[in-house]
Structure 1
Amino acid sequence: MVRSLGQRNCRSWYGPGGLHPTHLGDTLSNSRYTIVHKLDHSNHSLSWLTRDSATNTWRRIDIVLASPEVTKFHANAVERDLLAHAADAARADARGSILELLHHRGPNCDHLCMVFPLNGTYNCFRWTVQGGGRDKTEMNEAWLVRQCAKLRKDRAEESDGSEAQAPENVHAITAEEMLAILGRPRLSRDDQVPRYLVLRPDRIEEDFDFWLSEEAFQQ
């Protein structure tokens, strides 16, 4: 049975056959991927922002519910993309297609982990937010780069007034900047909950910086 996940997690979802109790700072795939922040959750998985130490890039990893039916569904759904891009990882990265399937052994069972780029034309990292609505502006690579450029500009003006350099791409954003953009990870409001019950970032409102930029008029 698939559980419907709300804005907050419930500790009962993390029993046998349930979700993987993921902590900030945990690593996957022999310490290659480090968990930095939560991005979203769906009915089947929890989506995490991770840093890939092998390629020095940002990745999104969806850790799937430890259910054979759900695992099979997700594996079948992404198999075609994996086969299509098996010989061209760079193309998959550029398009935002799935890069790899991992299996992680947790206290509740084995979990399928799906590794996605944090960039790409077709990539968006969230589906629904609090109240069942959607972000007014998509959380994607372009949004993250714009937010980082604004952050660097504001910090430069506050310090010495120098001109700030916008990041070349999402991977050039530092971990500290990423946390400033998304907000520091927060636990559920109940102080007694386990540390793995992390809230996702708040709903993104209208991105006025984008609509006032030259980029908006080019679309």
Structure 2
Amino acid sequence: MASSSPPQTPSSKVPKNPSDDRFEPSVFAAEWIEEYRPGGFHPIKFGDTMADGKFRVVRKLGDGSFSTVWLGVTDGASLPKYVAIKVMKAKQSISAAANELQVASVLATSDENTPKTTHVLLPLDHFTEQGPNGNHQCLLYEPMGVTVASGVHKIPQYRDKVRMMGERRRYPKWMVKTILKHTLLGLSSIHQRKVVHGDLQPGNLLFATRGLDLVDEAELVQSPGDTTDTIKRLDGKIDRWAPPYLALGQSLDKYADFTENMEIKISDLGAAFFQDLPPTKIVTPFALRAPEIILKQKVDEKIDIWSFGCLIYELITNTQLFPVAPDGEEENAEEDDDHFLALNDIIGDLSTNILLHWPRSGLWFGPHGERLNPRAELPRSSGSFNPELYVFDSLETLFKENKTDDIDEAESAVIIALIRQILNYEPSLRPTAEELLGNPWFHSQ
């Protein structure tokens, strides 16, 4: 599809300082309104057409740091009746979209030695859309139902129930196994082509829909109202760079397939990379980082395997295995310390490689690997947090406390052994996705 040059915007009309707020703040959980400026998001409203009228926007599906995602209606001739349209920020369009499309083109190939990619959401097509903020790369996808991160609240047993305080909602065991097995099939396809996903997490695992093309458009249309928030400039002027309103993302969870025929696909190849061309920054979620990511060492596809090991525990228990999180947008040494200490307590003694290359290991461990407790020397204040070093329980203890009742002691031992096999501090000793697919636990009832 043809692209065109970005419009010439008079410099006198461009916001002079990107930090100057132009709009009244919004309480909506949507993209940041101030990013509607040259180089930023493309302003879209319901009913807009894109790609010279080939797609008509009827619903917002979601948003992220670098894109918004919309449900579009097509003529159904060469594409499905409904498509998800990922619209990149103008300033990210060239690099981010090009990377995603390059990776996707490799994943779309197959021959007698490399089977067809399965359980990975690949672009159906792409085009460039011109707008007041520049040229925006737009990627078309099969519309999916809901993420694994949020889908647990939409499965039949919970959909119409009010969540009670303290209630822990978890996927039934058969669904957990299906989600994990399909994720392994996707990872196997990706890794066979020497690609690393780099951002494997529940938010990037999606349930497919069932029968969406048979749904009447009137059921899917989103209109301005309760799910939109009018954009207002502080100076009362009309803003040519922004849409008239922000819209909340409305997932297609109503049409997600939660039956035994359910299908899970790995999505978002924006952070994916080829094994021989790793990026300078890995975007794996903080708590799912493999040790080599924390140490900024060489990485390969085994960082995806590490994340997968964490997900086994997380999906079964609905709790994070390593309860660590960044204090802000930038990671710091103290947060890395907390992560390594959690690994040491939960998984077991840190490897020699980690202790040698972790710059601050001497603060926490003695010359013979003995655990030190520097925080115990800090002054205690009345009513304040106990400064002594917190020690996490082992994997075995945590799993026993958080597992579901239908997992007995024998099965617990099998799952714990599987997680320990995966979460090996030495990347080369972690199993491959293909090897894990052969584990009987994924195929048992």
TM-score (norm 2): 0.32
Whether 1:200 aligns to 2:249 is yes
Counterpart pick for 2:150 among 134, 145, 148: 134
Quickly say closer, same or farther: Cα 1:190–1:30, change in 2 above 3 A: closer
**Structure 1 or 2: larger strand share?**
1
Counterpart pick for 1:73 among 77, 96, 99: 96
Deviations 1:27-73 (A, max 9, x none): 111101110100011111000011112435110000001115x5312
Quickly say closer, same or farther: Cα 1:173–1:95, change in 2 above 3 A: farther
1:104 equivalent in structure 2: 129
- Secondary structure of 2:90's counterpart equals coil
* Equivalent residues, number: 168
2:219 equivalent in structure 1: 177
- Secondary structure of 1:171's counterpart equals helix
Counterpart pick for 2:67 among 45, 56, 61: 45
Quick one: distance in 2 between partners of 1:188 and 1:178?
15
Deviation at 1:79, TM superposition (A): 1.9
Which structure 2 segments of 5+ residues have no match? 1-27, 111-115, 155-204, 234-242, 263-444
Contact 2:46-2:58 within 8 A present in 1 as well: yes
Quickly say closer, same or farther: Cα 1:214–1:9, change in 2 above 3 A: closer
Higher relative contact order (CA 8 A, sep 6+): 1
Quick one: distance in 2 between partners of 1:84 and 1:203?
26
Deviation at 1:178, TM superposition (A): 2.2
Quick one: distance in 1 between partners of 2:146 and 2:123?
12
Structure 1: which amino acid aligns with 2:250?
P
Quick one: distance in 2 between partners of 1:50 and 1:59?
5
- Secondary structure of 2:123's counterpart equals coil
Quickly say closer, same or farther: Cα 1:184–1:139, change in 2 above 3 A: farther
Quick one: distance in 1 between partners of 2:89 and 2:76?
26
Structure index of larger Rg: 2
Quickly say closer, same or farther: Cα 1:86–1:37, change in 2 above 3 A: farther
Quick one: distance in 2 between partners of 1:124 and 1:72?
28
Quickly say closer, same or farther: Cα 1:113–1:214, change in 2 above 3 A: closer
Contact 1:33-1:51 within 8 A present in 2 as well: yes
Contact 1:20-1:65 within 8 A present in 2 as well: yes
More displaced stretch, 44-53 vs 71-80: 71-80
Quick one: distance in 2 between partners of 1:46 and 1:139?
17
Percent identity, aligned pairs only, is: 21
2:265 equivalent in structure 1: none
Deviation at 1:75, TM superposition (A): 1.8
TM-score (norm 1): 0.60
- C-alpha root-mean-square deviation of aligned residues, in Å? 3.9
Structure 2: which amino acid aligns with 1:63?
V
Counterpart pick for 2:87 among 53, 63, 71: 63
Deviations 1:146-195 (A, max 9, x none): xxxxxxxxxxxxxxxxxxxxxxx21111111224xxx6554544574752
- Secondary structure of 1:67's counterpart equals helix
2:298 equivalent in structure 1: none
Quick one: distance in 1 between partners of 2:100 and 2:76?
26
Whether 1:82 aligns to 2:82 is no
Structure 1: which amino acid aligns with 2:131?
G
Deviation at 1:82, TM superposition (A): 3.3
Contact 1:16-1:108 within 8 A present in 2 as well: yes
